[in-house]
Amino acid sequence: MKNAKKRWAVGLLAGFLSILFFCAGTVRAVDPFFHYRAPDPEGEVWFDERYQAAGLLRSQSYETVLMGTSLAANYRPFWFDVFYDTSTVKVTFPNGGFHEFTQALDYAYARQDVKRVIFGLDPNILARPASDAPDQLPAYLYDDNPWNDAEYLFSKDVLLRAVYAAGEKTQGQTLPLQDAFMWDGSLYFSRELALGSYERPEIADTPLPADAFLKDCDKNLMVVTSWLEAHPDTQFVFFLSPYSILYWDKMQRLGETEAVFSLLRRTAETLLPYDNADLQCFLTDTDTICDLENYADHIHVAGRVTYAMSQAMPGDEYRLTEENYRERLDALHAFVVNYDYEKIFA
């Protein structure tokens, strides 16, 4: 019996360790999150920004980091390479939180000499309380500590993704690095679709106070200004994506328009005094925002528009300055307050 128990215990331990090391070996060989290798620029399986971005930040050679939420995902890095004469890596997190962006930026600075950060400053995330923001970047990928790699190597979730990535690669289901995490190819952008996905809210009884978002906005902007202050030699280009006229219809009906404009003014007032901050405001492009053929929903915009925006970003056409921001935001305010929204739905 003693020998039987010994064989049983040794067998269990041997089997357990074999399964663990099989998992680690498979993950190490496929390396779906690019922890030990650079991604093949010609074709990789891209499936999770938060887990694969660390590998991009570590393995790529770049001066410029393009960062933001899903609104920044439909930009190809080489556009900025051309328009800014630079080398760009794109790191976007759907619905990303400021703590996540800080974590990724810190890692980028630890790995490369970052000269420029182009950041999609989404008013929705500026207005969001920090407690509601996701904070889900896997710390073990965003550092160079080899000890916590065990969390990567010994994980059934990663193993599953390794098997998936290997399978997709075998079948040629890959995308080049430039197309990583782009989703505009899998969606149509049209007036019909934009309207179809838009749920027009009921008119609110009382509008939100103008300062409703400012408390959270200030906290979020403190994070942004901490980047500006920590990296005075880096040029930060913040861009406000052109939310469609449906967004403003929603704000008007919910009584949130004044609160959003207070947030936009506070953002400009806070960022513009910094020498290393540019603020590009595409919200004011009324031709684009009123053409619903450009949209998949009330905020997400087609690739043709993002290309035009990336082309315009180095220029002055949409740049807010301390001199012009009041005038431009006031003009947009007058436009959205006086717009005849009913004609959209007629």
Partner 1 sequence: MGFQSLSFLLLLALTAVLCPLAAKKSRPAGIALFTFFSVIFYLWGLGIHAMLGLAVLALGSLVTFAAARTSLSGPEKPKKRVLLTAAAWHIAVLLGFKYLGFFTGGAVSLGWAPLGLSFFTFQQLWFLKEVGTRQFSLSEPARLRGDEFALFSLFFPTVSSGPILRPDGFFPQLRSENFLRPDWDDRAAGLYAFSLGMAKKVLLADSLGAVVNGGYAHLDGLTAHGAWLVILGYTLQLYFDFSGYCDIATGATRLLGLRLPINFDSPYRSLSVGEFWKRWHITLTTFLRECLYFPLGGSRRGEMRTYGNILLVFLVSGFWHGAGWTFLFWGLLHGLAQVAERAAGVRLTRLPKTLRWAGTFLFVNLAWVFFRAPSLAAAASLLRSAFSGGAGIPAFLTENLLPSETTALSALGLGPSAGNLLLAAVFFIALLAALKPGNTVRRMDTFRPTGLRCAVCCILLAWAALSFSGVTTFIYANF
The binding track of 116-135 with respect to partner 1, each residue x by CB under 8 A or -, is ------------------x-
Q: Is residue 300 near partner 1 by the rule CB under 8 A?
A: yes
- Residues between 37 and 96 with contacts to partner 1, criterion CB under 8 A: 48, 50-51, 70, 73, 94-95
- The long-range contacts involving 163-167, CB below 8 angstroms and separated by at least 24 positions, are 163/26, 163/30, 164/32, 164/45, 164/47, 165/30, 165/32, 165/45, 165/47, 166/30
Applying CB under 8 A, which of residues 37, 156, 304, 326 lies at the interface with partner 1? 156
Specify the amino acid at residue 122.
D
Task: For residue 199, give the 3-state DSSP assignment.
Answer: coil
Q: Is residue 4 near partner 1 by the rule CB under 8 A?
A: yes
Closest to partner 1 by CB, 71 vs 332, is 71
Closest to partner 1 by CB, 158 vs 260, is 158
Q: Is residue 138 near partner 1 by the rule CB under 8 A?
A: yes
Between strands 64-68 and 235-240, the pairing is: unpaired
Q: Name the minimum Å distance from CB 92 to partner 1.
A: 10
Q: Is residue 158 near partner 1 by the rule CB under 8 A?
A: yes
Q: What is the token pair recorded at 39? A: 């991604």
> Distance (Å, rounded) from C-alpha 63 to C-alpha 84?
10
> Distance (Å, rounded) from C-alpha 80 to C-alpha 307?
10
Give yes or no for a contact between 96 and 125, defined as CB atoms under 8 angstroms apart.
yes
Q: Is residue 188 near partner 1 by the rule CB under 8 A?
A: no
- In degrees, rounded to 5, the angle at the alpha carbon of residue 40 between the alpha carbons of residues 91 and 48 is 40
Q: DSSP labels for 49-80?
A: HHHHHHHHHHH---SEEEEESGGGTT--HHHH
Q: Name the minimum Å distance from CB 200 to partner 1.
A: 20
Q: Is residue 2 near partner 1 by the rule CB under 8 A?
A: yes
For tokens 């067998």, the residue is 11
Q: Is residue 289 near partner 1 by the rule CB under 8 A?
A: no
Q: Is residue 161 near partner 1 by the rule CB under 8 A?
A: yes
The sign of the CA dihedral 7, 12, 13, 14 is: positive
Give yes or no for a contact between 342 and 246, defined as CB atoms under 8 angstroms apart.
no
Binding-site residue total for partner 1 (CB under 8 A)? Answer: 42
Q: What is the token pair recorded at 127? A: 């207005």
Closest to partner 1 by CB, 261 vs 295, is 295
Q: Is residue 196 near partner 1 by the rule CB under 8 A?
A: no
Stretch that binds partner 1, among 4-12, 122-130, 247-255, 284-292 (CB under 8 A): 4-12
Residues that bind partner 1 (CB under 8 A): 1-9, 11-13, 15-16, 19-20, 23, 48, 50-51, 70, 73, 94-95, 134, 136, 138, 140, 150-152, 154-161, 164, 183, 300
